[in-house]
C-alpha cells in the first residue's frame, strides 16, 4: 500500500477535528485501505452520542414552556444567543439597532410635527431618522439639536436605550469569544476502537483490553487537570430505558496529550464487555462512551468532549498502527496513521468469527509479538 503524504499541521487546521459539524446519528465510518469491510448492515444503528460530541436526544412536550412575562426570559435569551449560529447573531445585531432607530425616529418625527422642538429638522422623515441615528451612536454633528427641554426628552431616552444595547451586545460578544466549546474540538479521538490480547511482563499473564486513543492537536497547550471517564451504555427494550455501566480505565494517573495516548480498559470478569460480543452489542444498541474533561491552560475555562464507539467501529483482535517517528530535532506524529488499525487474525474465517466472539475471549491463534494465546 502506498504511503500517504503528510504535512505539518498548520495553526488553522488544529482548531477543528474531522468530526466538528459532522454529527449524524447514523453515519458510517469510512473504511481505511488496510481494514476488512463489514458488509453486514446489522452492525449499523443510531447512536446516543454523535461524532461531534453532541447527544442525539430530542425532547417533546405538549405544553409551551416559554413566556415573555417571566423574569428569567432575558437570561435564557442571552444563553440561547451564546450558542446561536453566527449568521443569525449578526442579523439580530443589525435588526436590534435598525428597529431602535426606526422606533425613536418615528417618535421624534411625530413629536416635531406638533411642536417643532428640534432645530433644522424641517419635518422631514429621512432627516429625522438620521438625526436619531447620529444621536444614538453619540456622533452628533451639531447641525440638528433640540430647541428646548421638551425636545430633549426623546433623544435622551434614545441614548439610554442605545447604551443598554451596547452593554448587552458587548457582553454577548465577549462571552462568545470565551466559550470553550471550540477548544474541545482540538482533541482528536480515533475513529475506531480495538479489542486485543496483551501479555503482562511482570506475571506473564495474558489479558484482554479495549483501547481507543486521543491526541491534542493544539500540542503546545495541553489541557490541565484532565480526567477521563468511560462507560458502556445499552438500551433495555423491555423497560424502555438506558443502562449505564462504568468501565474503569487503567492509565489515568498521568496523561501526556501531545502524543497519541491509548485509553485502556481491561476486560476483566467485572467488565460490562466480558460476556459481550458485537452481535449482542447490536441487540442492546450498545455504545462505549468516553468523556475527557479538563481546563484550558490559557483562560482556565472548563472543557469537556464526549465521543462514542458503536459495534461497527470496534474491531476485535486488531491493533493500532504506529504513528510516532523519531527525527533529529524531536518526534513526529503522523496523523494519517492515527485512525488506522491492523488485524491480528491470520485468515478470513477468524475475521468472520469476530462478530460472534465475546470481547473477553480471543479466537486469534497467534498475536503479533507474543506467544500463542489459547482459545
pLDDT tens over the chain, length 375 residues: 445 555 665 555 555 566 655 433 334 344 344 444 454 566 778 889 988 888 888 888 777 665 554 545 667 778 788 878 889 999 999 999 999 999 988 888 888 777 877 777 777 788 888 888 888 887 877 777 777 777 778 888 988 999 999 999 998 888 888 777 777 788 889 989 999 888 766 666 788 899 999 998 887 788 888 899 999 999 988 888 999 999 999 876 678 888 899 999 999 889 999 888 888 888 889 999 999 999 888 888 888 889 999 988 898 888 999 888 888 888 888 888 888 888 886 544 444 455 556 666 654 433 323 333 333
pLDDT for residue 39 = 46
Query: CA–CA separation, 291 vs 305, rounded Å?
Result: 6
**3-state DSSP helix/strand/coil % of the chain, to nearest 5:** 30, 25, 45
Query: CA–CA separation, 171 vs 47, rounded Å?
Result: 36
- For 6-37, give the DSSP string: --PPPTTGGG--TTTT---TTPPPPPPTTS--
pLDDT for residue 86 = 85
Task: Give yes or no for a contact between 309 and 287, defined as CB atoms under 8 angstroms apart.
Answer: yes
Give Cβ neighbours of residue 356 (< 8 Å, ≥ 6 apart): 277, 278, 279
Strand partners, 118: 146
At which residue does the C-alpha cell 432607530 appear? 101
Query: CA–CA separation, 179 vs 325, rounded Å?
Result: 35
pLDDT for residue 234 = 92
Q: Which helix (H) or strand (E) holds 216?
A: strand 206-216
pLDDT for residue 351 = 45
Report residue 109: phi and psi, to 5°: -65, -45
Report residue 101: phi and psi, to 5°: -60, -45
- Structure-block grid coordinates of residue 227: 480526567
pLDDT for residue 287 = 93
Query: CA–CA separation, 364 vs 166, rounded Å?
Result: 66
pLDDT for residue 213 = 93
- Structure-block grid coordinates of residue 147: 430647541
Query: CA–CA separation, 277 vs 360, rounded Å?
Result: 9
**What is the CB neighbour count within 10 angstroms for residue 233?**
19
- For 138-183, give the DSSP string: T---SSSEESSSGGGHHHHHHHHHHHHHHHHHHHHHHHHHH-SHHH
Amino acid at each position: 500500500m502506498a504511503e500517504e503524504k503528510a504535512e505539518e499541521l498548520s495553526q488553522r487546521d488544529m482548531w477543528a477535528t474531522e468530526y466538528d459539524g459532522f454529527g449524524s446519528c447514523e453515519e458510517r465510518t469510512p473504511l481505511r485501505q488496510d481494514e476488512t469491510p463489514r458488509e453486514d448492515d446489522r452492525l449499523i444503528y443510531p447512536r446516543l452520542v454523535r461524532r461531534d460530541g453532541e447527544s442525539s436526544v430530542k425532547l417533546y412536550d405538549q405544553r409551551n414552556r416559554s413566556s415573555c412575562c417571566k423574569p428569567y426570559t432575558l437570561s435564557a435569551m442571552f444563553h440561547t444567543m451564546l450558542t446561536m449560529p453566527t449568521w443569525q447573531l449578526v442579523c439580530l445585531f443589525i435588526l436590534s439597532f435598525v428597529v431602535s432607530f426606526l422606533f425613536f425616529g418615528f417618535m421624534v418625527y411625530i413629536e416635531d410635527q406638533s411642536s417643532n422642538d428640534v432645530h433644522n429638522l424641517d419635518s422631514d422623515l429621512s432627516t429625522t431618522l438620521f438625526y436619531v441615528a447620529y444621536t444614538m451612536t453619540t456622533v452628533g454633528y451639531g447641525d440638528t439639536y433640540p430647541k428646548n427641554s421638551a425636545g430633549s426628552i426623546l433623544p435622551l431616552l434614545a441614548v439610554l436605550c442605545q447604551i443598554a444595547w451596547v452593554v448587552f451586545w458587548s457582553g454577548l460578544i465577549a462571552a462568545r469569544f470565551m466559550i470553550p466549546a471550540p477548544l474541545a474540538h482540538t482533541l482528536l479521538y480515533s475513529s475506531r476502537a480495538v479489542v486485543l490480547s496483551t501479555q503482562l511482563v511482570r506475571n506473564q499473564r495474558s489479558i484482554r483490553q479495549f483501547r481507543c486513543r486521543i491526541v491534542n492537536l493544539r500540542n503546545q497547550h495541553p489541557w490541565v487537570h484532565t480526567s477521563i471517564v468511560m462507560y458502556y451504555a445499552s438500551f433495555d427494550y423491555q423497560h424502555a430505558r438506558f443502562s449505564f455501566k462504568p468501565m474503569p480505565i487503567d492509565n489515568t494517573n498521568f496523561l501526556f496529550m501531545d502524543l497519541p495516548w491509548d485509553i485502556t480498559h481491561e476486560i476483566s470478569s467485572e467488565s460490562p464487555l466480558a460476556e459481550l460480543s458485537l452481535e449482542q452489542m447490536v441487540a442492546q444498541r450498545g455504545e462505549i462512551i468516553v468523556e475527557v474533561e479538563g481546563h484550558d491552560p490559557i483562560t482556565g475555562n472548563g472543557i469537556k468532549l464526549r465521543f462514542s464507539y458503536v459495534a461497527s467501529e470496534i474491531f476485535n483482535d486488531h491493533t493500532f498502527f504506529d504513528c510516532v517517528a523519531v527525527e533529529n530535532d524531536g518526534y513526529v506524529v503522523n496523523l494519517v496513521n492515527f485512525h488506522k488499525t491492523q488485524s491480528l487474525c491470520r485468515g478470513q474465517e477468524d475475521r468472520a468469527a469476530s462478530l460472534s466472539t465475546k470481547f473477553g475471549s480471543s479466537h486469534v491463534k497467534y498475536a503479533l509479538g507474543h506467544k500463542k494465546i489459547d482459545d
